[in-house]
Structure formats: structure tokens, C-alpha cells
């Protein structure tokens, strides 16, 4: 059902707002403006739903020490309390089948201390239950199967949930609007004449006439060619009207990167309601842009590094093509300040490569000759790359590309050059790669439902040339399920395979496969799990296998009870998790045994910031014959998966 609780709540408010109004005299209003505390809530007349369930649904709350400490406004009577309790209780009863519910709420003044008692008097009425479902009206018979299928959400014998019915009608209208019938009218009626304990429901569908798209007129497209917007529109004149084509066109226009806002409206001058014209209003991005960024940080080599970059771009180069130019500089600060890196990049984008909505991105980068900040040699490089991306629907995307890099080492004897190239970041690599990604998660930061699948293949060297020769394949699959509100089960399986070939003996350390750390097997330091070499150091693995299981839930909001921190963390809810991790890296397939895996478990706290979960995890290792007991804290941002 596509209608969420908020939408149903709004519907209830519109439907019952005026019926729940009550006359309040001026003296009572003056008393309420002082926001007296609510010392007692009394419920009378309820039989079907418990007093505890009703109170938990209400906006009003009885005064209590911890609620007062947490500055809960609901323990005080306010203007916003008017009708709010009535609406909340009515929502509770209506979704449980009590369609004739009547509610009277009173606020009684305690003369001793001017506190308030909330008195709620209920008349529940009859419990309605879904009986037989009947469909009639005027519509194409080919729609009957799907319309009847939607009606199956109304389970016979279950309480008559009016919001479930409204949600089903919304889905029916959406379905018909996507089949060319946007003017369809759907209503329902309850047969109350029967003596049966179940109540039959009659759904009437009047589909009206088949509608086709008319012309689309574009306004606001001044800086870019008209085809920039028109090629993204999936609406075609004389095609059958489909609401999803309008929504898909809006999404594609925003994804193109040329517009900040887009809006489709039916043209008021359209002569025929069965072939409506549309007006597309767009607000364009600026065709030129210049950005400057600067800031300090810490690198692996120096304690303090200052970075400076400048970027210029043009979005309407030779029609709708784009390019941008970037220059980037890094300096060490303190004694002996000097330039340690400078690079220059030019990027060109063809948005519709070969006439297909598949952008081609060409990039050239130059890093001029500069002395290594730690060792006495000079390094320079340049690279070329080409990449393209293709979307398949809303969830799937593929990317393919090619990279060619040239690196030159100088200032040292020839005998040392090969050794320096073997070190991280100094070798020239040429590769082709392919990735497939499918993402049906409902939220990127805190997914409650959905599946995320990622598959990637890299081929480096070989017939492409370069200093290194290896291939790498990785696959990961994550699934998320909501067990109950604010309780989430998250599972991930990830495997990897890397191999060196020809003159390369091992996969370079910066491209090798490792596990361990805050985002894989917790309880171990980053990249500390893999094949142990003859020197005793951890080497990159040929195969990696990883399994993670987490239970995540919204936990006690302890900051609400701390006066100093409450305001700071009021918009940053706390979550908690329990997790189990297992995995390791292996050199050969016959090394993969249960006794060779690393196991850990633990718990964590997450602060939900606008940038994503800020995560504190504590993990303990499960000792095995090769791995001793240990524990470790991890601090990072975003969930492990």
C-alpha cells in the first residue's frame, strides 16, 4: 500500500476535523493559555480497546518527573491539544473497524492547583468486519483481474479498516491512470442491511474515456538547446496517457544536471480533455560555474597539509556537452613548507553517447614532475580514461571504463626504479573495468527494506601493458527487513577473488584483498585479516569471504533526560545494534575451512546525524585455534553496510 501513515492521518483530519469541534468559552481559553499541567487522564466507555492503548495513542500525557525533566510539552494543556486527542483516538478506532465511533473530550480545572484533568467519553458503536467484496461499474474488462487482485488486501473477517480501503482505492486510481484513464472515479459503499456479522463492501469503478497525450510546450529553457529537455521527456504525442511517464520525465530531467526545478502542468488552452497538452516549466542551472575550495588536513606523510583547488566548468559546450577544468595543490605547513603535489585535470562529458541516454566521460590528468616528500626521487605522471554508465529502470545501473596511466621515476639510479615502481602509488596501471549495481533500499543511511547488490570486475595489465598484471572480482549482497517499527534486521554476504599473472607475482598491496576493521570484521584492525606471509606480515588474499548480521533498533533517548545535551541532540535520535561478523582472506581454495575464519560479535550506538549515522562499535573476538581473544572499539560514520 503506497499511502503511509502520515497520509492517512491527514485524510482522517480532513474527514473528521469539523465533526470533532467543540465549543470552548473564553474563560476556559484563558486558563488553557497558562498551559496547566495534566495530572490525570480518564477514559470512559471503552470496551474493545484498552485504556493503555488509547492513552498511548493520545497526544496528551500525564505529568511525570522524567517527562518534565525531558521538557515533554504534551504533559501541559495547550491550544494544540484541542481536537488533537479526539483525532488520534478516532484514527485508532477507525482503523480497527469502529466506523460509528463518537468521542467527547473535556478539560476539567482542578480548583486547588489549577492543574487539568482530561476526560474522554467514548461511544464505540458496532464493530464492522470485511465481508464479501464486489466490483462493478464501467471499465474495460481487461482491468478486472488486476482490480480484483488489489481488493484481496481487504481480508474477509478482519476489522473494517477504512484507511486500508482508501489506500486500495488510491492504488486502483494510480493503476488506471497508468493505463490511460486519469479521470477514473472510484468509490465504495458498505452494505449495512445484512444481519451477518460480516459487512459486504461494494467498489464502484467508472473509468471514463481513454486519454492520449497531446503536445508538450517547454518554457524557461533559455541557456541550453531545446533538445536538452525534450530528449529526456518520455511523453510522446498521441501515446496513451500514463501518469508514470510524467513522473519518469521529471526524474530524468533532474538527473540530467541541467535543471534545478521542473514542473509539468496541463495546458489550460487544451481543446480536448481526451488529448490534453502539457506545459513543462524548467529552471536552468547556470551554464558556467567557478568553484574554489581550501582546507587543512593530515596525510600519511606529514602532520599538517594545506590543500587548495580551483575548478571551472561549462554546461553548454558545443550544444549540451560539458567540460570542466580542475587544478589541485597541496602544501606542507610549518618548517620547510613546500609544494608536495599538484595536478591538473580536464574532463569532457557527452550526455547522450551514440544517441543513447548513456553518458560518455573522457578524462585527462597531468601530475607534473615533483620530488617525493619523503624520499629523494622525482615522480611525474599522466593518465587518460573513458567511462560510460547506463541505467536500467530506477534501481539498476552498469558502469564500464578504461584507464591508461603513464608514470616516470627519475633522479635515482636505474637499478632502483623498478623497486620504487613496485611500491604503492608509483606504478603505471592500465585497466578495463565493469560494475553492476542494483539498489532497492528505501533509505541510503538507515535502510529498513530492500536489497543492495554490487558486482565488479577489473582487469589490469596483460595486453593493455603497464607495470602490474592482475585481475580482481568482487560481489556483495545485502538485504534489509523491518521486523517491527524501528527494529531492522540487516544481512550481508561479500566475496572477492584477486590473482596476479605474467611477470607480476602478487597483487600490489594497495589493490590487494583484505578484511578487518569497522566495515568488515569488527574486533580487528583495518586490513589485518588475510594470508600471513613468510615474513609474518599480512599479505593480500586470493579469496575473501565475509558474512555480517546486524539487529538495529531505536533505543532509549537518554539525551532527552540531560538538560545540557537535550537541545543539542533533540534532532539526532539514538539507535543501537547487535552484530555478528565472520570472514577471512585465503591464499588457496583448500584453505577455506570453518576453523580458519575469524569471528566477532558486539554492540554499537549510532547517533543519526544529517550526514548519516555516527557509529561507536565495541567488538570482541571469538577465540579459535589460530586467533586469540581480543576486543576493540571502532568509531566511524555510516553503517558497515
Question: Would the pLDDT of 135 be above 60?
Answer: yes
CB-based contact 130:158 (threshold 8 Å): yes
Establish if 410 belongs to a structural domain: no
The mean of the pLDDT values for the chain is 89
Rounded Cα–Cα distance for residues 278 and 270 (Å): 8
Same domain? For 91 and 146 the reply is no
For residue 304, the model assigns a pLDDT of 80
Q: Which of 90, 123, 156 is the last residue of a domain?
A: 123
Name the more confident of 64 and 435: 435
Q: Which of 228, 255, 284 is the last residue of a domain?
A: 284
For residue 534, the model assigns a pLDDT of 57
Same domain? For 115 and 188 the reply is no
For residue 106, the model assigns a pLDDT of 87
For residue 271, the model assigns a pLDDT of 86
- DSSP string covering 150-189, please? HHTTS-TTSB--HHHHHHHHHHHHHHHHTTT-TT-EEEEE
Domain that holds residue 190: 130-206
Residue 554 DSSP SS3: strand
**Phi then psi for 226, rounded to 5 degrees?**
-60, -30
For residue 103, the model assigns a pLDDT of 94
For residue 179, the model assigns a pLDDT of 96
Query: What stretch of H or E contains 249?
Result: helix 243-255
Establish if 134 belongs to a structural domain: yes
Establish if 556 belongs to a structural domain: no
Question: Would the pLDDT of 263 be above 80?
Answer: yes
- What confidence tens digit (pLDDT) does each residue in 438-480 have? 999 999 999 999 999 999 999 999 999 999 999 999 999 999 9
Of 108-117, 243-252, 531-540, where does mean pLDDT reach its minimum?
Answer: 531-540
Name the more confident of 306 and 424: 306
Same domain? For 18 and 49 the reply is yes
Name the more confident of 453 and 79: 453
Average pLDDT in the 21-31 region?
61
Question: Would the pLDDT of 85 be above 70?
Answer: yes
For residue 639, the model assigns a pLDDT of 95
Q: How confident is the model at residue 6 (pLDDT cuts 50, 70, 90)?
A: very low
Same domain? For 199 and 220 the reply is no
Q: Which of 106, 123, 140 is the last residue of a domain?
A: 123
Residue 411 DSSP SS3: coil
Rounded Cα–Cα distance for residues 16 and 18 (Å): 6
For residue 83, the model assigns a pLDDT of 81
Name the more confident of 561 and 426: 426
- What confidence tens digit (pLDDT) does each residue in 504-544 have? 888 988 899 999 999 999 999 998 998 766 566 778 899 99
**Phi then psi for 49, rounded to 5 degrees?**
-120, 135
Question: Would the pLDDT of 297 be above 90?
Answer: no
Same domain? For 19 and 116 the reply is yes
For residue 18, the model assigns a pLDDT of 41
Q: How confident is the model at residue 16 (pLDDT cuts 50, 70, 90)?
A: very low
For residue 35, the model assigns a pLDDT of 82
Within 318-359, strands assigned E span 321-332, 339-350
Same domain? For 143 and 190 the reply is yes
Rounded Cα–Cα distance for residues 338 and 330 (Å): 9
Same domain? For 13 and 94 the reply is yes
Same domain? For 17 and 91 the reply is yes
Name the more confident of 10 and 638: 638
CB-based contact 35:63 (threshold 8 Å): no
Establish if 103 belongs to a structural domain: yes
- What confidence tens digit (pLDDT) does each residue in 350-407 have? 999 999 999 999 999 999 999 887 778 888 999 999 999 999 988 999 999 999 999 9
Strands 199-206, 130-138: parallel, antiparallel or unpaired by DSSP? parallel
Rounded Cα–Cα distance for residues 34 and 28 (Å): 10
For residue 25, the model assigns a pLDDT of 64
Same domain? For 67 and 115 the reply is yes
CA gyration radius, the chain: 32
Global pTM? 0.76
CB-based contact 552:482 (threshold 8 Å): no
Specify the number of domains making up the chain.
Answer: 3
Residue 632 DSSP SS3: strand
Establish if 514 belongs to a structural domain: no
Tell me the CB-side half-sphere exposure of residue 310, using CA atoms within 13 A: 1
Same domain? For 73 and 175 the reply is no
User: CATH number, domain at 158?
Assistant: 3.10.20.310
Q: How confident is the model at residue 566 (pLDDT cuts 50, 70, 90)?
A: low
Q: How confident is the model at residue 8 (pLDDT cuts 50, 70, 90)?
A: very low
Same domain? For 87 and 22 the reply is yes
CB-based contact 489:551 (threshold 8 Å): yes
Average pLDDT in the 170-192 region?
95
For residue 27, the model assigns a pLDDT of 67
Establish if 141 belongs to a structural domain: yes
Q: What angle do CA 8, 9, 11 make, to 5 degrees?
A: 65
For residue 15, the model assigns a pLDDT of 47
Residue 640 DSSP SS3: coil
* 3-state SS, one letter per residue, for 254-270: HHCCCEEEEEEEECCCC
Same domain? For 80 and 107 the reply is yes
For residue 533, the model assigns a pLDDT of 61
**Phi then psi for 358, rounded to 5 degrees?**
-150, 85
Amino acid at each position: 500500500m503506497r499511502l503511509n501513515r502520515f497520509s492517512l492521518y491527514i485524510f482522517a483530519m480532513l474527514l473528521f476535523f469539523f465533526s470533532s469541534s467543540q465549543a470552548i468559552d473564553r474563560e476556559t481559553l484563558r486558563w488553557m493559555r497558562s498551559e496547566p499541567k495534566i495530572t490525570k487522564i480518564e477514559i470512559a466507555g471503552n470496551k474493545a480497546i484498552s485504556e493503555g492503548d488509547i492513552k498511548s495513542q493520545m497526544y496528551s500525557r500525564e505529568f511525570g518527573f522524567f517527562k518534565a525533566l525531558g521538557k515533554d510539552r504534551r504533559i501541559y494543556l495547550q491550544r494544540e491539544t484541542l481536537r488533537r486527542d479526539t483525532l488520534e483516538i478516532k484514527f485508532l478506532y477507525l482503523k480497527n473497524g469502529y466506523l460509528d465511533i463518537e468521542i467527547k473530550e473535556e478539560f476539567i480545572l482542578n480548583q486547588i492547583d489549577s492543574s487539568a484533568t482530561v476526560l474522554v467519553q467514548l461511544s464505540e458503536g458496532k464493530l464492522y468486519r470485511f465481508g464479501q467484496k464486489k466490483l462493478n461499474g464501467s471499465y474495460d474488462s481487461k482491468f478486472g483481474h488486476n482490480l480484483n487482485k488489489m481488493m484481496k488486501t481487504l481480508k474477509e473477517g478482519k476489522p473494517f479498516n477504512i484507511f486500508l480501503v482508501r489506500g486500495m482505492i488510491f492504488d486502483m486510481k494510480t493503476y488506471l491512470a497508468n493505463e490511460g484513464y486519469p479521470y477514473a472515479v472510484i468509490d465504495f459503499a458498505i452494505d449495512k442491511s445484512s444481519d451477518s456479522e460480516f459487512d459486504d463492501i461494494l467498489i464502484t469503478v467508472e473509468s471514463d474515456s481513454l486519454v492520449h497525450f497531446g503536445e508538450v510546450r517547454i518554457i524557461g529553457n533559455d541557456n541550453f538547446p531545446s533538445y536538452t529537455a525534450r530528449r529526456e521527456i518520455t511523453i510522446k504525442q498521441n501515446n496513451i496517457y500514463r501518469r508514470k511517464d510524467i513522473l519518469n520525465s521529471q526524474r530524468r530531467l533532474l538527473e540530467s544536471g541541467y535543471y534545478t526545478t521542473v514542473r509539468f502542468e496541463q495546458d489550460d488552452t487544451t481543446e480536448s480533455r481526451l488529448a490534453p497538452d502539457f506545459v513543462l516549466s524548467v529552471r536552468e542551472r547556470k551554464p558556467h560555474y567557478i568553484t574554489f575550495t581550501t582546507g587543512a588536513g593530515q596525510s600519511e606523510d606529514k602532520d599538517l597539509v594545506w590543500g587548495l583547488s580551483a575548478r571551472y566548468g561549462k554546461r553548454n559546450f558545443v550544444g549540451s556537452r560539458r567540460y570542466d577544468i580542475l587544478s589541485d595543490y597541496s602544501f606542507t605547513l610549518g618548517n620547510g613548507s613546500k609544494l608536495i603535489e599538484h595536478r591538473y585535470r580536464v574532463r569532457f562529458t557527452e550526455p547522450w553517447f551514440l544517441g543513447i541516454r548513456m553518458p560518455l566521460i573522457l578524462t585527462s590528468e597531468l601530475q607534473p614532475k615533483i620530488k617525493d616528500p619523503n624520499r629523494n626521487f622525482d615522480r611525474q605522471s599522466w593518465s587518460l580514461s573513458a567511462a560510460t554508465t547506463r541505467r536500467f529502470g530506477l534501481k539498476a545501473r552498469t558502469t564500464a571504463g578504461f584507464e591508461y596511466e603513464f608514470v616516470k621515476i627519475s633522479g635515482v639510479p636505474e637499478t632502483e626504479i623498478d623497486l620504487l615502481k613496485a611500491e604503492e602509488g608509483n606504478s603505471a596501471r592500465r585497466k578495463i573495468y565493469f560494475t553492476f549495481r542494483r539498489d532497492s533500499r528505501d533509505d541510503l543511511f538507515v535502510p529498513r527494506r530492500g536489497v543492495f547488490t554490487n558486482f565488479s570486475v577489473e582487469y589490469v595489465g596483460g595486453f593493455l601493458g603497464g607495470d602490474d598484471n592482475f585481475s580482481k572480482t568482487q560481489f556483495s549482497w545485502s538485504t534489509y527487513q523491518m521486523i517491527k517499527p524501528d527494529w531492522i534486521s540487516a544481512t550481508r554476504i561479500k566475496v572477492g577473488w584477486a590473482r596476479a599473472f605474467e611477470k607480476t607475482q602478487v597483487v600490489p598491496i594497495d589493490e590487494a584483498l583484505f578484511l578487518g576493521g569497522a566495515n568488515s570484521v569488527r574486533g580487528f584492525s583495518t586490513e589485518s585479516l588475510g594470508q600471513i606471509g613468510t615474513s609474518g606480515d599480512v599479505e593480500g588474499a586470493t579469496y575473501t569471504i565475509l558474512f555480517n548480521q546486524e539487529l538495529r533498533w531505536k533505543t532509549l533517548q537518554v539525551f532527552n533526560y540531560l538538560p545540557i545535551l537535550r537541545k543539542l541532540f533533540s534532532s539526532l535520535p539514538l539507535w543501537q545494534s547487535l552484530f555478528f561478523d565472520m570472514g577471512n582472506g585465503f591464499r588457496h581454495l583448500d584453505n577455506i575451512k570453518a576453523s580458519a575464519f575469524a569471528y566477532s560479535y558486539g554492540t554499537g550506538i549510532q547517533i543519526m546525524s544529517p550526514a548519516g549515522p555516527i557509529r561507536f562499535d565495541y567488538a570482541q573476538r571469538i577465540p579459535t585455534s589460530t586467533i586469540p581473544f581480543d576486543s576493540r572499539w571502532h568509531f566511524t560514520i555510516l553503517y558497515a553496510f
